[in-house]
Amino acid sequence: MASVVEMHGLTKVYRSFFGGTGVLALNQLDLEIQEGETFGLVGPNGSGKTTCLKLLLGLLYPTAGEAMLFGRKVWDMRVKALLGYMPETPYFYDHLSGEQLLRYFAQLFGLRGAEQRRRIDELLALVGLSERRHMLLRYYSRGMLQRIGLAQALLNDPALLIVDEVTSGLDPVGAHQIRSLILELKRQGKTILLSSHLLNEVQTLCDRVGVLYRGNLKACGTIDELLPQPSQVVITALGLEAPTVARLEELGAACAAADGMVRVTVAPEQAEQAVAVIQGDGGRLHELTRPRPTLEEVFMDMVREEVE
Amino acid sequence: MRSIITIARNTISEALSRVILQMILVFAIIFLVLGFFFTFMTPGEEDKMLKDLGLTVITGFGLLLAIFMGVSLIQPEMERRTIYALLAKPVRRLEFVLGKYAGTIAVLALSMIVMGVVLVGSLFLKQGVWSPELLIALVGIFFALMIMAALVMMISTFASTLMSVVAGFLFWSIGYAQSYLQQLSEHADNPVSVRVLNTISAVLPNFTYLDLRLAVVDGLSIPAQLLGKMALYGVGYAAVVLAIAAVLFNEREM
Amino acid sequence: MKGKAHKRGRWLLLPAFAVLVLLVPVQRSIVSDPGYRKEYVNPAVNLGSVREGGTVALMAMLGGFRPLVSNLLWLKVDEFWHRGGSGYWRMVGVLQAICEMDPHFIDAWSTFGWHCAWNIYVDAPVKDRPKWVQTGIEIYQRGIKFNPDRYDLYKDLAWLYHDKLRDYERAIPAWQETLKHPDAPIYVRHMIAHCYENTWQVDKAIATWKECLKEDPTDVVAKAALDWWRQQTADPEKLKAEKLRILVRENGVRRSRQLPMMEEPHSIR
């Protein structure tokens, strides 16, 4: 599979006009994103995510290293024709309506006439703004701006979609709608680069994740690679007496009682035995789970190590 | 080319929708018409004064338009970040600069035509005489404003809006103070000083080359070849400034 | 710091520089074009004079709004005139500024010359008076240089020689220059006739009156003058009395103005 996005030693240092040491925003980033992949770039504010995206879009120039899209330089017009970009907090031209904005951008892509109209109608329907097409953008809510932002990013049916903080400022319903759209695009085989500080969102949407912290790529891989396998089984049971708890603890389980229930944490290989003990002593199983650490937990561990 | 035209059209629609620009134009028309309700001195003087005042009003308001449109081309797009989505499209930065400028010039030309028609019409209503030759002075003014818009746009690629406005007015003064510079060079005795002053004079804009107001009001005829040379200077100088603006904008990080 | 990516647009600077260099001959060509009026290029106008017109005038000057400035200053001239006293002296600088800024503003030249030769003349110390008259002459001459196609300033200059200086030798050519303009007023020819009368060149005076009548058979002034001279020339005593009267009148004015006295005019015939 071809690499759609390639970054080799990509570095960005922000210096003031008068020089000085500068701020290292991105440090020697080496990353490749394959065709059809949905890649999530995560990290807290100031980690370098936006810097990375701006370098790919040609809005910033690298201090060192290079970035390529579709095997070409990022400012190549052929690359721009294959690219869709949804900015973080989309601001568009107040004096235009939703439809006029799409028409403006469509003209920049060379879309004309019936094809242009068809595409605009499709996209407005897709993002649920068909009825507000003539409303001026200055009256759009935050969520509506986000949706028109996605629509303009899809005008040219891009092979690569770059999305910055996809659900920023959206209510749960709006966020869910956008996520569904992203998943649909993913299903269509588009390459998607997603930047977000909402780790659970990235975990849901992305095939691979890159974790940025203070300009450095701390980890990169699939969700499975990044998240350790669940190492414990947690059994929640009712009606356990003290002797039963003691027997469970002998098995090596940790027991904690709360609200009339007992939470038994045990190694997977002891789980079957623990269940048998509980049921044998007349206890009632309430729940049995194998919780996996979330990306957030993994990330917090990484950051804690860094700080230490 | 397609991008340039598309961006120019959007620039025009944006400019025409902006209240401040509408107000500038309305005030200009009010001033032009109001002047005709006052009677100055003798009839001969009145004719001269009304024409002088009319052309001055058009120049002054045209200058305001050029400066305020010039500063609103690039800086607001960067501040509001509308430029991110735009530059992610297949649009070269040079095309962006040219498109924005072309839209501005179109609005300036339209404004000059409207104000010119109001002036000539008002004069006709007051004095019963058609003075379409006044429109020739507007040609010179237009070229000067072309240069002004380009200058302000260039400055706004790296400076704040306020600084760009101030610099705009400064450049306008410099453009008219050029003859003082030339006088200085004539009186300088050091050949190096003369060379330096002449170079500065050649590089800075000189709006006195484009100012036909006094000549037109005095009824002097303006040959077509002179208008052609003025056009060459105006367009040429604006092109130089635009090129610098494009280079600066290209180096600008968002 | 950035790498080299941002530099790719710098190629534009080369053609820009080339165009800037090419604009130098264009600028020269504009200045040397016969249609380009050099007098409209901002001369070193005395900003102090412009300041007399108020802050607005000064700002407008720096902003290149010369038409507005010259009109504002012109209004200021009127204000100074009605103020009198020191206002008369302040008018001088302001009028000079207007003439330099707007060299085709005929009224300004006319007022400037008249003001120096007639008004300032009165206020100036006696020993300086000839200087102010000479200033008036130079102002008119300069104004004529910028406006050779207009009769007005020729007329003003001729009148200055005629009335102020009683210098009919110089007045006559000045009146004749004025007459070359088709729109010159009819009385100019009358003035030439008066010049000849005052220098006792009666033959030429009568010939001039006859020309006036030829130009305009309804010219009652010319008719009356010719009748008068017919009567005078018919009676030697009357002629002699008239000659004396002119001499006394002329020398009376010259004496009061410290001008050279008129010699005994040569006799007719």
A190 within some domain: yes
Same domain, A174 and A107: yes
**C160 Cα distance to chain centroid:** 9
Positive or negative, the Cα torsion across C52, C55, C57, C58?
A: positive
Those residues with Cβ within 8 angstroms of residue A181's Cβ, 6 or more apart along the chain or in another chain: A126, A127, A150
Cα separation, A28 vs A65, in Å, equals 7
Please give the DSSP secondary-structure letter assigned to residue C259: P
Cα separation, C23 vs C1, in Å, equals 35
Nearest to C19 among B225, B226, B239 (CB): B239
Q: What is residue A159's three-state secondary structure?
A: coil
Which B positions 29-68 lie with beta carbon below 8 A of chain C?
A: 41, 44-45, 48-49, 52-53, 55-56, 59-60
Distances (CA, A) of C134 to A212, C93, C110, C118, C119: 88, 17, 15, 11, 13
Positive or negative, the Cα torsion across A165, A166, A170, A175?
A: negative
- Give the N- to C-terminal CA distance of chain C in Å, as an integer: 102
Q: What's the confidence (pLDDT) of residue B38?
A: 65
Q: Do B85 and A93 touch (CB under 8 A)?
A: no
A49 within some domain: yes
Q: Number of structural domains, chain A?
A: 2
A257 within some domain: yes
Interchain contact B13–A (C-beta under 8 A)? yes
Same domain, A279 and A194: no
Confidence tier at C1 by pLDDT (50, 70, 90): very low
Closest to A151 (Cα-Cα) out of A103, A94, A93, A206: A103
Q: Number of structural domains, chain B?
A: 1
Query: Which of A58-62, A225-229, B3-7, C71-75 has the weakest average pLDDT?
Result: A225-229
Which uninterrupted H or E stretch holds A257?
Answer: strand A254-258
Burial of B81 (0-12, 13-18, 19+ CB in 10 A): middle
pTM over 0.90: no
- State the CATH number of the domain containing residue A259: 3.30.70
Q: What is the mean pLDDT of residues B199-226?
A: 86
Q: What's the confidence (pLDDT) of residue B39?
A: 61
Which uninterrupted H or E stretch holds A216?
Answer: strand A216-222
Contact call for residues C175 and C162 (beta carbons, < 8 A): yes
A240 within some domain: yes
Residue B21 has pLDDT above 90, yes or no: no
Report the 10 Å Cβ neighbour count for A269.
9
Contact call for residues A71 and A5 (beta carbons, < 8 A): no
Please give the DSSP secondary-structure letter assigned to residue A136: B
Most confident of A289-293, C1-5, C191-195: C191-195
A300 within some domain: no
Same domain, A253 and A196: no
Using DSSP bridges, classify how beta strands A216-222 and A208-213 pair: parallel, antiparallel or unpaired. Answer: antiparallel
Which residue range is the domain that position B180 belongs to? 2-251
Same domain, A151 and A212: yes
Q: By a Cβ cutoff of 8 Å, what residues of chain A touch chain B?
A: 54, 57-61, 77-78, 80-81, 83-85, 87, 89-93, 95-96, 104-105, 107-110, 149, 152-153, 162
Confidence tier at C267 by pLDDT (50, 70, 90): very low
Same domain, A262 and A149: no
Positive or negative, the Cα torsion across C102, C108, C110, C115?
A: negative
Backbone phi and psi for residue B41, each to the nearest 5 degrees, phi listed first: -5, -130
Confidence tier at C207 by pLDDT (50, 70, 90): very high
Closest to B226 (Cα-Cα) out of B139, B144, B148: B139
Cα separation, A275 vs A286, in Å, equals 11
Q: What is residue C91's three-state secondary structure?
A: helix
Same domain, A15 and A82: yes
Same domain, A110 and A222: yes
Same domain, A75 and A219: yes
Same domain, A95 and A54: yes
Minimal-distance CA residue of chain C relative to A61: C2
Which uninterrupted H or E stretch holds A123?
Answer: helix A113-126
Q: What is the mean pLDDT of residues B247-252?
A: 92
Which B positions 193-212 lie with beta carbon below 8 A of chain C?
A: 202-203, 206-209, 211
Prediction ipTM score: 0.85
| Cα Rg of chain A, angstroms | 25
Q: Do B45 and C74 touch (CB under 8 A)?
A: yes
Mean pLDDT of chain C: 86
Positive or negative, the Cα torsion across B109, B111, B114, B118?
A: negative
A305 within some domain: no
Contact call for residues A193 and A36 (beta carbons, < 8 A): no
Contact call for residues B11 and B73 (beta carbons, < 8 A): yes
Most confident of A178-182, B51-55, B151-155, B189-193: B151-155
Nearest to A15 among C1, C5, C6 (CB): C1
Minimal-distance CA residue of chain C relative to A14: C1
Backbone phi and psi for residue C266, each to the nearest 5 degrees, phi listed first: -65, 155
A295 within some domain: no
User: Of A200, A226, A252, which residue is a domain's last?
Assistant: A226
Residue C92 has pLDDT above 60, yes or no: yes
| pLDDT tens per residue across span C34-48 | 888 766 665 556 666
Distances (CA, A) of B111 to A3, B246, C98: 52, 26, 31
Cα separation, C25 vs B171, in Å, equals 22
Closest to A137 (Cα-Cα) out of A103, A174, A179: A103
Those residues with Cβ within 8 angstroms of residue B132's Cβ, 6 or more apart along the chain or in another chain: B120
- State the CATH number of the domain containing residue A163: 3.40.50.300
The number of residues making up chain A comes to 308
Q: What is the mean pLDDT of residues C259-264?
A: 79
Residue B146 has pLDDT above 70, yes or no: yes
Q: What's the confidence (pLDDT) of residue A305?
A: 67
Closest to A102 (Cα-Cα) out of A175, A176, A152, A138: A152
Q: What's the confidence (pLDDT) of residue A19?
A: 65
Query: Each residue's pLDDT tens digit in chain A (308 positions)?
Result: 679 999 999 999 988 766 667 888 899 999 999 999 999 998 888 888 999 999 999 999 999 999 999 999 998 999 999 999 998 877 788 889 999 999 999 999 999 999 999 999 999 998 889 998 999 999 998 888 888 999 999 999 999 999 998 777 778 887 888 888 888 899 999 999 999 877 778 888 888 999 888 888 888 888 878 777 677 888 888 888 888 888 888 888 888 888 888 888 888 888 888 889 888 888 888 888 887 777 777 777 777 766 66
Same domain, A75 and A203: yes
Query: Which of A110-119, B45-54, C16-25 has the weakest average pLDDT?
Result: B45-54
Distances (CA, A) of B46 to A111, B42, B57, B130: 57, 6, 16, 16
- Give the N- to C-terminal CA distance of chain B in Å, as an integer: 24
Looking at CA atoms only, how far is residue B11 from chain C in angstroms?
A: 23
Contact call for residues B62 and B112 (beta carbons, < 8 A): yes
Interchain contact C44–A (C-beta under 8 A)? no
A303 within some domain: no
Same domain, A201 and A53: yes
Closest to B218 (Cα-Cα) out of B49, B62, B57, B54: B49
In DSSP terms, A216 is beta-bridged to A213
Cα diameter, chain A: 80
Q: What is the mean pLDDT of residues C151-170?
A: 94
Same domain, A203 and A100: yes
Those residues with Cβ within 8 angstroms of residue A222's Cβ, 6 or more apart along the chain or in another chain: A207, A208, A209
Contact call for residues A216 and A27 (beta carbons, < 8 A): yes
Which residue range is the domain that position A249 belongs to? 233-289
Cα separation, A208 vs A24, in Å, equals 25
Looking at CA atoms only, how far is residue C11 from chain A in angstroms?
A: 16
Mean pLDDT of chain B: 87
Residue C269 has pLDDT above 80, yes or no: no
